[in-house]
Structure 1
């Protein structure tokens, strides 16, 4: 009886890493941050109410936030790539051939990086927009531009100073992404993040966050657990490049037509019919839709 029960439960215990950014945002809400909406977002410490599959409405008054320029985005929670997609995308061949859309369409490793839960965190949308893909740094002469939100942005120098409570997690996320996906960090970046890693040790929440993410993705951040330490000119493990792309991703290949911007699944009539020169491959329907494609009407 006990063995039979285990057999019934086993499929529910098997999880796979999210296949794309859209799925990652949904999983981040459901499994990682589901109970953190009253603990404050990463940049400002603002609470929010969950809405939709992965969004949220920010309590601006409760955290003393003042809108700088974009009222609509200030009111909503968005998902921030701590290491920007452009940073890791530019180090992939696909980026040179067509930017993020091309990488999403043709590079499974980019899709894995874009969907990596260790690199995602919920933030106030306007601050997400203001951060853009700027690098992190210290800005002692810059005043706060978002009320009580203690994040500072220098738009001329394209630099963001995050609040102190978030700096250690930023550092350890950069170490993780660089180590796992063989990304290059400048000497100045390494020194800054090594200082933040020392000054802002791993918190109880960062450890719990790492455990939750590991349960979904199958691996934790070794720079959070202490299994690895970063030193200047660290030699990257490249674990994310030598590991196989999740089997689920390999089995779901979507064909899109670059002329019509319509995509077909393997069971669809047009899946094998289109000319090779017109074919664009995606890892999932969500990836195709993110690139501006729609599903064929004869493809249920």
Structure 2
């Protein structure tokens, strides 16, 4: 009985992930991240990514920073220092430059014409709330060790070296940042320098997965349909790691096809698939209930389907 219960729970989890609907745009991703991932983190837990600040949610996906909660002092941009922004842990500039679309016209061109870029831009495993000013200062810099110099943001320990174009996040998130970066490079087949690999591998070892990071992974997986294997321990990054490129198998997340409408089934009609140009009979055709409603064309008999240029599906018995 115990094994049966465990197996049933495992099946339930797998089914839940299979039915997940990842966001298809960056705008949608921010709202989903607020409502389904970080909904209770504004005043509790780890705080924002770079400074550990609490915030108050405002609007669909924004927030107002509580500077006193983390001892934050504005460096230069007061407006951005007061608001939450959504940081791409691996910047869009970095992953975009490894796509042909960026060479053809920059980020706008990628958003318009490259579904893989849109998937990367909206990937929730790469998004985290951040103080807007620090997000802006980090810009598209790679992560690194920033030695010396005065603190830029009061008690916030994240440092940015504008001359060397490098950013070093606070210790509390170095492991999280490393594992999120591994995920993006592995899933989307990106190329990482040897120096960056060595640094992030060190952070991964020095800062193990926390309780919150596991919860973050669990919540995000329910939306994305898969886990970050570098958080769950299913995968480890080694020097020269060859990305599995799982994010490139399907250009965009797709919804599971819905069965034909009850009206169609009740009429015992023949269903044609506009994409495949195949038709399916209500009996003895396994794919009859798998044609998405948007692709259906209904026929009263086989002669009508054939006249419209359709042929019977090969798996019909």
Task: Give the TM-score category using the shorter length.
Answer: 0.7 to 0.9
Q: Matches of 1:148 and 1:15 in 2, distance apart?
A: 39
Q: How does 1:45-194 map to 2 (within 5 A)?
A: 45-194=52-201
Q: Matches of 1:183 and 1:121 in 2, distance apart?
A: 20
2:50 is matched with 43
Q: Matches of 1:63 and 1:142 in 2, distance apart?
A: 20
Q: Matches of 1:59 and 1:81 in 2, distance apart?
A: 21
Among 240, 244, 247, the alignment partner of 1:233 is 240
Q: Matches of 2:135 and 2:154 in 1, distance apart?
A: 15
How far the C-alpha of 1:171 sits from its partner, in A, is: 0.5
How far the C-alpha of 1:15 sits from its partner, in A, is: 3.2
**Alpha-carbon contact 2:65-2:131 (below 8 Å) kept:** yes
1:20 is matched with 25
**Alpha-carbon contact 2:53-2:65 (below 8 Å) kept:** yes
| TM-score computed with the length of structure 1 as normaliser | 0.77
1:31 is matched with 36
Q: The residue matched to 1:80 in structure 2 has which SS?
A: strand
Give the unaligned 5+ runs of structure 1. Answer: 1-9, 250-300
Q: The residue matched to 1:247 in structure 2 has which SS?
A: coil
**Alpha-carbon contact 2:88-2:127 (below 8 Å) kept:** yes
| TM-score computed with the length of structure 2 as normaliser | 0.73
Q: Matches of 1:154 and 1:206 in 2, distance apart?
A: 27
Alpha-carbon RMSD across the aligned residues, in angstroms, is 1.8
Q: The residue matched to 2:87 in structure 1 has which SS?
A: strand
How far the C-alpha of 1:247 sits from its partner, in A, is: 2.2
Number of matched residues? 240
Please tell me whether Structure 1 or Structure 2 has the larger radius of gyration of its CA atoms: 2
**Alpha-carbon contact 1:142-1:153 (below 8 Å) kept:** no
How far the C-alpha of 1:143 sits from its partner, in A, is: 2.4
How far the C-alpha of 1:244 sits from its partner, in A, is: 4.8
Q: Matches of 1:237 and 1:14 in 2, distance apart?
A: 23
Deviations along 1:100-121, one digit per CA (max 9) or x if unpaired, are 0000000000000000000000
Moved over 6 A (4+): none
Deviations along 1:153-179, one digit per CA (max 9) or x if unpaired, are 111101111100010011101110010
Q: How does 1:151-300 map to 2 (within 5 A)?
A: 151-247=158-254
Q: Matches of 1:243 and 1:201 in 2, distance apart?
A: 31
**Alpha-carbon contact 1:18-1:116 (below 8 Å) kept:** yes
Give the unaligned 5+ runs of structure 2. Answer: 1-14, 257-317
